[in-house]
């Protein structure tokens, strides 16, 4: 499958540095889908740096994609293109989005996956309809290859998003319940579960610190409650606890996380996505 | 392990663009084998672009490797070198092949893996015997590192296949039953099973369209039969069906695929590699 | 998260070739940790070649990391930087090491992971304390991103290890029992288990050959004993045995390995890390 040369796009590419394209999908690494996407990208943008964020998202999990994409993108160089594909609606009429924020570009299906990006005031969003930047033949089931990869490659080359489609007023936005911060308690929610079974919530460290500043609660006096369990005090690291002990810690995602030292908190507690975690001042539960 | 410099090969490399080397193996990603192969490649071809197609093929599955390699290669830029290693005969006297087709090069053990490539009239095949292009020390169990990686790196640098061995008349070719197309029915076969448990057959969309053109059967009137099950009509996308419903769809591989919306068709049906799938005109079963 | 420009480090980078950075962790590929590390690296060392050795080490397994790192590094070009992170002590006071050996550089937590490197006479080791080469904000749980990735990127750019910290006299070294070689027998140990369940020991081929030269034992007369099982004679390749048969072979790691042809030796035998394997001359057991 030779992809048509595209002098104009390549010329833009040679005028700028190697661009980074990140890939975040639920395609897995076993079936060649990701390899083929990279082949398509390299035919259009031969010097792009392609970085896998992950292809092992839980199948069809927009929640997991949404969490990881929001967290990851800002660690990459400005000018990066982020391809995010969890796409249960592939082949239906769902739209293709290009978003821009803080010098980063995103391409994703219009299914809510980009909600945290699109809710930011500075974000711009386009409805990609210009099939000049797609492959010639579009399958019903693999837009990752036929639409998203060529789009990302042309974006990385420097083609403007506005060339690819018009601004969009009504992208699909998911309702994502934010943490509810009361004077003596916080309701937060499990938003991601990592490989070790750690339960990552939506409570970030800054919000927690501010809350403590107002109510005077120390880290040791902080209670973490869920189901019928309680964790007394936050830990500073996994290493603080003995193997098998449950702990709550601000983690590498900079979010409050429920973990079991050397163990699997999700499997042990049975907590899943969206589960409620309550934070309290000791004595105020 | 410093690999001897090879001025002649490097000079060829500097005269051409960065080459792409794709890797398709059953080595897994856990054990460092693939990392070591990339180290060897980068010592010989420092600017090669190395792309993983997959390393998670079912162990020893020549069938899976054969399917993926035939499908994937053409999405990569002409000039790419495709390393395909599923090699149950490593350490025995099995031969090492280099094949050329459509501007692409392939290196693989002579065990049938390249059958679909080699059956094409335009294909050339060489028996790689010139150990000048291998590592100095050849183990019995890891030719991926000792033979195939250096071969691929030198090919990517631009060394001619004919330098590495003589043309071969009798490479091993597997018998692969093609779909049997009758006026009112087609016998096709499961040739690959992807991560989601989707069952991918050998029936491509072009052949199916031609068959319909002859017998006047619509997509809705097409029956898909296997075991004691029947699927009435083809779908255009996974999204057309409700969660848990079985469907037949032309997929991203451009092949007829049996899938379960949001589910795992292989696990649910028990169908495996080579299973027979019958396509019929409604009323003619 | 924009990482501050660092002109001095980048200038060093432009004066040398693209450096290779290898990554060896137990972080998995599912959670974006590795992607984020690569983003950080590319902000500091935009033209570094990043190669994954593996991210699927058994969680917290310093033994597996230690084995793979020692084996892999030398296949990469001199000048490579090897990032090795299995870090149960993250967030505690454990130190950060940079080691140098044979033109390779290593960055790892001070927990014994680098033992085989550090025991070599030519090795140098530094205690990295200069936070100028870290991210501005250091989390308690993700030093892979905050400390190790920027360190590796600056090393790849050409910043000297001595700039990053002072030489260290007492890095943590693990006791690793070497094979015990007697005139008529050898006690060796399982040091790694690969994806296929093959059991890799610490007995290398050179030592075995020397032993045979002294006692006149042929490969066929060599007995391999463990638990209540015995393997009579060594194989030259997996292909020598029938499916399901157990064998002992010098493998791609160049170590004696217990394997089951087409099967899983670890699952079948129940042997694990550190298990004793006895080698005998037939008749002398």
- The low-confidence residues of chain B, meaning pLDDT below 70, are 1-2, 4-6, 14-17
Cβ–Cβ under 8 Å, residues C20 and C49: yes
Helix C62-72 / helix B33-44 crossing angle, nearest 10 deg: 20
Is residue A173 included in any domain, yes or no?
no
B145 and B197 together in one domain: no
Query: What is the pLDDT at residue C16?
Result: 66
pLDDT tens profile A200-213: 999 999 999 999 99
B65 and B192 together in one domain: no
CA-CA distances (angstroms) from residue C8 to A78, A232, C104, C147? 20, 47, 22, 19
CATH at residue A104 = 3.40.50.10790
Does residue A160 surpass a pLDDT of 90? yes
A54 and A104 together in one domain: yes
Is residue B235 included in any domain, yes or no?
yes
C200 and C236 together in one domain: yes
Q: What number of C-beta contacts closer than 8 Å exist between A and B?
A: 103
Q: Which residue from B2, B141, B145 is facing C237, i.e. has the nearest CB?
A: B141
Residue A235 is given by DSSP the state B
Contact flag A42-B51 (C-beta cutoff 8 Å): yes
A158 and A253 together in one domain: no
Q: Which domain, by its residues, includes B70?
A: 6-167
DSSP three-state, residue B201: strand
Q: What number of C-beta contacts closer than 8 Å exist between A and C?
A: 104
ipTM score for this prediction: 0.91
Is residue A1 included in any domain, yes or no?
no
Query: What is the pLDDT at residue A253?
Result: 92
From A92-101, B73-82, C35-44, C191-200, the region with the lowest mean pLDDT: C191-200
Cβ–Cβ under 8 Å, residues C179 and C211: no
Is residue B99 included in any domain, yes or no?
yes
Q: Which residue from A17, A195, A252 is facing C142, i.e. has the nearest CB?
A: A252
Q: Which residue from A43, A88, A140 is facing B250, i.e. has the nearest CB?
A: A140
DSSP three-state, residue C141: coil
CA-CA distances (angstroms) from residue A132 to A8, A91, A135, A163, B211? 12, 19, 8, 10, 31
Q: How many structural domains are present in chain C?
A: 2
A134 and A24 together in one domain: yes
With cut-offs at 50, 70 and 90, classify the pLDDT of residue C5. Answer: low
Average pLDDT over every residue of C201-210:
96
Q: Which residues of C touch A257 (CB under 8 A)?
A: 141
C27 and C149 together in one domain: yes
pLDDT tens profile C232-275: 999 988 778 999 999 999 988 999 999 998 899 999 999 999 99
C206 and C132 together in one domain: no
Residues of chain A whose beta carbon is less than 8 angstroms from a beta carbon of chain C are: 17-18, 20, 22, 24, 29, 49, 51-57, 68, 71-72, 74-78, 80, 192, 194-196, 236-240, 249-254, 257, 262
Q: Which residues, at least 6 apart from B118, have a Cβ–Cβ distance to it below 8 Å?
A: B99, B125, B171, B173
pLDDT > 70 in chain C, percent? 97
Query: What is the pLDDT at residue C2?
Result: 64
Dihedrals φ, ψ of C69, to 5°? -60, -45
B153 and B217 together in one domain: no
Does residue A3 surpass a pLDDT of 80? no
Q: Which residues of B touch C252 (CB under 8 A)?
A: 33, 139, 141-142, 144-145
Q: Which residues of A touch B20 (CB under 8 A)?
A: 39, 42
Query: What is the pLDDT at residue C9?
Result: 73
A134 and A221 together in one domain: no
Is residue C258 included in any domain, yes or no?
yes
Looking at the complex, report in whole angstroms how far the Cα of residue B41 sits from the nearest Cα belonging to chain C.
9
CATH at residue C242 = 2.40.30.90
End-to-end CA distance of chain A: 63
Domain limit, last residue, from A142, A167, A192: A167
Contact flag A28-B194 (C-beta cutoff 8 Å): yes
Contact flag A236-C91 (C-beta cutoff 8 Å): yes
Q: Which residues, at least 6 apart from A9, have a Cβ–Cβ distance to it below 8 Å?
A: A44, A45, A153, A154, A157, A158, A159
CA-CA distances (angstroms) from residue A94 to A63, A117, A132? 18, 19, 19
C152 and C266 together in one domain: no
Is residue B1 included in any domain, yes or no?
no
Q: Which residue from C78, C240, C252 is facing B33, i.e. has the nearest CB?
A: C252
> For residue C91, is it left (φ>0), alpha (ψ between -120 and 50) or beta?
left
d(CA B31, CA C113): 16
Does residue C12 surpass a pLDDT of 90? no
- Choosing among C50, C196, C242, C252, which should be mutated to test the B contact, i.e. which has the most B CBs within 10 A? C252
Cβ–Cβ under 8 Å, residues A140 and B256: no
A47 and A138 together in one domain: yes
Cβ–Cβ under 8 Å, residues B212 and B226: no
Q: pTM here?
A: 0.93
Is residue A174 included in any domain, yes or no?
no
Is residue B75 included in any domain, yes or no?
yes
d(CA B142, CA B144): 5
């Amino acid at each position: 499958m030779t992809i048509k040369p595209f002098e104009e796009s390549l010329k833009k590419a040679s005028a700028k540095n190697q661009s980074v394209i990140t890939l975040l999908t639920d395609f897995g690494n076993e079936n060649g889908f990701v390899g083929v996407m990279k082949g398509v990208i390299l035919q259009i943008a031969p010097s792009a740096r392609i970085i896998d964020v992950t292809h092992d998202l839980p199948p069809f999990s927009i929640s997991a994609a949404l969490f990881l994409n929001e967290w990851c993108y800002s660690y990459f160089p400005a000018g990066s293109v982020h391809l995010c594909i969890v796409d249960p609606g592939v082949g239906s009429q769902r739209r293709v989005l290009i978003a821009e924020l803080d010098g980063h570009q995103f391409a994703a299906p219009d299914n809510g996956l980009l909600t945290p990006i699109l809710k930011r005031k500075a974000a711009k969003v386009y409805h990609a309809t210009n099939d000049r930047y797609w492959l010639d033949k579009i399958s019903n089931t693999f837009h990752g290859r036929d639409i998203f990869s060529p789009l990302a490659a042309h974006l990385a080359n420097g083609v403007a998003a506005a060339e690819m489609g018009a601004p969009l007023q009504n992208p699909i936005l998911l309702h994502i319940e934010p943490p509810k911060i009361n004077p003596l308690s916080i309701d937060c929610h499990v938003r991601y579960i990592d490989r070790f079974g750690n339960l990552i919530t939506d409570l970030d460290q800054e919000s927690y610190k501010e809350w403590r500043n107002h109510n005077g609660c120390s880290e040791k006096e902080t209670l973490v409650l869920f189901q019928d369990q309680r964790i007394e005090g936050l830990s500073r690291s996994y290493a603080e606890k003995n193997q098998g002990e449950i702990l709550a810690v601000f983690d590498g995602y900079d979010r409050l996380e429920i973990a079991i030292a050397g163990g699997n908190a999700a499997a042990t507690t049975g907590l899943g996505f969206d589960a409620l975690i309550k934070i309290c001042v000791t004595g105020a539960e």
